Amino acid sequence: MLEKGPARAMQTKTVLVGSLPVGGNSPLSIQSMWKKPLSGLTEELVAEVGGLASLGCDILRFAVPDMGSAEVLGGLARRVAIPLVADIHFDHKLALRCMDFPIAKIRINPGNIGARWKVEEVVRKALDKNIPIRVGVNHGSLPKHLADEADSAAAMVKAAEEEIEVLESLGFGNIVISLKSSDTESTVAANRLFARRFAYPLHIGVTEAGPLIPGVVRSTLAFSSLLAEGIGNTLRVSLSDTSEAEVLTAREILSALGLRKKGIRLVSCPRCGRAGFDVHGFLAKTQRRLMALDKNLTVAVMGCVVNGPGEARHADLGITGAGNKAMIFRRGQMVRSLPEEEAIEFFFAELDGM
Amino acid sequence: MLEKGPARAMQTKTVLVGSLPVGGNSPLSIQSMWKKPLSGLTEELVAEVGGLASLGCDILRFAVPDMGSAEVLGGLARRVAIPLVADIHFDHKLALRCMDFPIAKIRINPGNIGARWKVEEVVRKALDKNIPIRVGVNHGSLPKHLADEADSAAAMVKAAEEEIEVLESLGFGNIVISLKSSDTESTVAANRLFARRFAYPLHIGVTEAGPLIPGVVRSTLAFSSLLAEGIGNTLRVSLSDTSEAEVLTAREILSALGLRKKGIRLVSCPRCGRAGFDVHGFLAKTQRRLMALDKNLTVAVMGCVVNGPGEARHADLGITGAGNKAMIFRRGQMVRSLPEEEAIEFFFAELDGM
């Protein structure tokens, strides 16, 4: 068993998820999970997956509940560059089939696959194809003998340890681990405890974190605690919302913690009774386009003359309302005052040149 | 000048905002700011303000850019129980007029009011009416002589100090302070520096924090750092989104930090290709109703049989999909399996009895 000293990200093993390294000194990667059934390999599916990748999704996971889904996922893996992960429960044949395709990782818990020979078949094929396995321990689905343990963090680590022992006994060490609870504190405690004892890379996340607001709050709290201690190698924000929201949240957490340099940093005002410029409307029309830009810039979108010009001046590019005009600031200089309806295109034209 | 030792919330003064104590040992209060112009005292306005209060908004602030707004706000203050704050820039007559009504606090920066005699008039009336003043220092609108200071936290504290000196020189100490930047780190640094030197209660917030996701992430990071040190007495989450979202975010941050006991804690799954039950749809229909409940319960809304029954069993009330049925769990026991379309009413009927 791989043991290590004080928890530091760089002390974990490195696992290759497709061609993407996870763990060791690799950059933190962002992942999400597909929210819909895999009903067919359509151009729309290929385009949507590409769109998520362009927003910053580094790894994308799919539930594979049946053989039809395995076929679609396999076909998709041949079409897209982003590493795809097959998430499988109960049926080892699904895992075997997925590994006939260029799948980057499988997520499977040996404990819910059943008979030892089934696990052995899966592990043998994963070894043969050099495909890593993520063992995903969730507090909501612990094995029966651990489900009622008072110390939920210890119970989760124990569950992971039992799964790891099965894999290691078969000579398999190409492992990523996750320990998730819907409770922030026990998620943090379980990952901390695990990182002290094992050197396998950690996929971190708060599971069933809730709708957008609670989910973002809980994920931010858990990730900021863990990442400050160097724990966590790949991140999944889990929201009862879109995958785009999950990816943007992870990006934002990493940016705010200074762990990600790429991408637009948006500063924008909450709007109040003073606002002349429709900040919410401008953001609704432009936010996705802004977030897909691969530039490292601060952009300010402000509503009025109280804080607007000040914030807009501190940003690389700023827009603020004044009367029925929009003023555009570029690195501290007002470059144009123009009617609101012409502002969006001028704004993006300026960004293009930066 | 009020000085104090190590920063601890309980060492601040207590200021009464209407009848709500802020600072000292008072509970942390949540505030928001109205997003629309105050164009008339309508029943709709009264109802919307009441709705925000029922979600957990303890204090509500309004921009007062003109005399018409002052009249509407004054009329509103006579109609609602929640303490209302008038936010005024530039024109001291607006502040004077607001204080003819039962306004709970005014936010005004002496520095942008102009001549000393104008500030004196405002302060005299605030003293007379026992109305506190919040001085709100924003990094985006620092006075000219401080705007280009390299140490933004020190510049913000210096700006606050200068405003406080004006008020104290007029014998006024009924003060709340805020120091906000759109940058999380300088917001934390400024509040920390201020709390070490002054005992006035702090209204904390990251200003122009952006649209929903960046705003929630940045506010969560700033508040969790400050509140862990006992800094912060009243909270404003500032989002380019609705006031409801601001209040729910503040609630969620306090709950996740164990600083707020009231209210429903929602656990819900992100949905994936396995999900039979429409978690997102169920939440869209029920989330606001759930959030307005004044009960201290954990509610789980889950999509499928992998983690669903486990999480639903750990919750006070849980709902999870299985095939085209919804199963309802009450404190670990399955109490009903019923068609999805009948689930919402049964679910709330159960909650009513808890």
* Nearest residue to B174 (alpha-carbon basis) of B30, B10, B12: B12
Residues in chain A with CB shorter than 8 Å from the CB of B38 are: 273
The alpha carbon of residue B228 is apart from the nearest alpha carbon of chain A, in Å, by 12
Residue B273: the pLDDT is: 80
Mean pLDDT across the stretch A147-151? Answer: 90
* Residue from the list B238, B267, B279 with its beta carbon closest to the beta carbon of A182: B267
Q: Please return the burial class of A128, using the count of CB atoms within 10 Å of its CB with bins 0-12, 13-18 and 19+.
A: exposed
* Residue from the list B33, B207, B314 with its beta carbon closest to the beta carbon of A140: B314
Distance CA B133, CA B15 (A): 10
Q: Do B273 and A36 touch (CB under 8 A)?
A: yes
Chain A residue with the nearest C-alpha to that of B218: A256
Q: Which tens digits make up the pLDDT trace of A49-64?
A: 999 999 999 999 999 9
Distance CA A259, CA A81 (A): 24
Q: Do A283 and B33 touch (CB under 8 A)?
A: no
Q: Do B268 and A37 touch (CB under 8 A)?
A: no
Distance CA A76, CA A71 (A): 9
ipTM of this complex prediction, to 2 decimal places? 0.92
* Residue from the list A89, A212, A275 with its beta carbon closest to the beta carbon of B212: A212
Look up residue A83 and give its amino acid: P
Residues 6+ apart with CB under 8 A from B252: A213, A214, A217, A218
Residue B308: the pLDDT is: 72
Q: For residue A44, give both structure tokens.
A: 């729309």
Instruction: Give the sheet arrangement for strand B317-322, strand by strand.
Output: B265-268, B298-302, B317-322, B325-330, B333-339
Residue with tokens 């078969």: A170
The alpha carbon of residue A51 is apart from the nearest alpha carbon of chain B, in Å, by 18
Residue with tokens 């043991």: A3
The alpha carbon of residue A189 is apart from the nearest alpha carbon of chain B, in Å, by 15
* Residue from the list B224, B257, B267 with its beta carbon closest to the beta carbon of A208: B267
Q: Do A36 and B210 touch (CB under 8 A)?
A: no
Chain B residue with the nearest C-alpha to that of A211: B268
* Residue from the list A139, A224, A240 with its beta carbon closest to the beta carbon of B268: A240
The alpha carbon of residue B254 is apart from the nearest alpha carbon of chain A, in Å, by 10
Distance CA A19, CA A15 (A): 10
Res. A41: pLDDT tops 90: yes
Residue A311: the pLDDT is: 74
Torsion-angle region of B38 (φ positive above 0: left; ψ -120 to 50: alpha; else: beta):
beta
Report CA torsion sign: A233, A238, A244, A248. Answer: negative
Res. B137: pLDDT tops 90: yes
Mean pLDDT across the stretch B97-122? Answer: 94
Res. B104: pLDDT tops 90: yes
Distance CA B243, CA B235 (A): 13
Domain A14-256 classification at class level: alpha beta
Mean pLDDT of the residues in chain B: 91
Least confident of A212-221, B248-257, B337-346: B337-346
Q: Do B240 and A269 touch (CB under 8 A)?
A: yes
Q: For residue A290, give both structure tokens.
A: 């802004």
Q: Domain spans of chain B?
A: 14-256, 265-352
* Residue from the list B142, B252, B311 with its beta carbon closest to the beta carbon of A214: B252
Q: Do B221 and A89 touch (CB under 8 A)?
A: no
Give the CATH fold of the A265-352 domain: Sulfite Reductase Hemoprotein; domain 1 (3.30.413)
Q: Which tens digits make up the pLDDT trace of A220-246?
A: 999 999 999 999 999 999 999 999 999
Q: Which tens digits make up the pLDDT trace of A188-197?
A: 999 999 999 9
Q: Do B287 and A211 touch (CB under 8 A)?
A: yes
Confidence of residue B3 (pLDDT cuts 50, 70, 90): very low
Q: Do B208 and A34 touch (CB under 8 A)?
A: no
